[in-house]
Amino acid sequence: MSESELFEIFRAIESPEEFSRFLEDILTPAERADLGQRAEILRRLLSGATQRKIAEDMAISITTVSRGNRIIEHGTGMIAQIYARLGWPLGR
């Protein structure tokens, strides 16, 4: 399936409940947890939290947090744009 087809699927989702049910259908519980954790790591990094503080607060390895930092530093920048649209504070 192409990215544009996937986009159309996501656009067809009408509520947070539908989104949750959709994710439940297509992802394993571990994949859903990983997705949520990654989004939270990115949010905290973009708000200015240190990698060490995030690792401590979330009880995860610094390596896991470092992966998120690489996404921010070497990615497309879309994560920060989307989070800014949501009005989430960005300290970076």
Encode pLDDT of 76-92 as tens digits: 999 999 999 999 888 76
At residue 92, the pLDDT reads 63
How does residue 17 score in pLDDT terms, banded at 50, 70 and 90? Answer: very high
Looking at the 3D structure of the chain, how many domains does it have? 1
CB 50 within 8 A of CB 41: no
Domain of residue 13: give its range: 3-85
Q: Hey, CA dihedral for 48, 51, 53, 58, is it positive or negative? A: positive
CATH number of the domain that 60 lies in?
1.10.1270.10
CB 84 within 8 A of CB 90: yes
Ramachandran region, residue 49 (left: φ > 0; alpha: ψ -120 to 50; beta: rest)? beta
Give the pTM: 0.85
With respect to residue 92, please indicate whether it lies within any of the assigned structural domains.
no
Encode pLDDT of 23-77 as tens digits: 999 999 999 999 999 999 999 999 999 999 999 999 999 999 999 999 999 999 9
DSSP letters along 56-92, please?
Answer: HHHT--HHHHHHHHHHHHHS-SHHHHHHHHTT-----
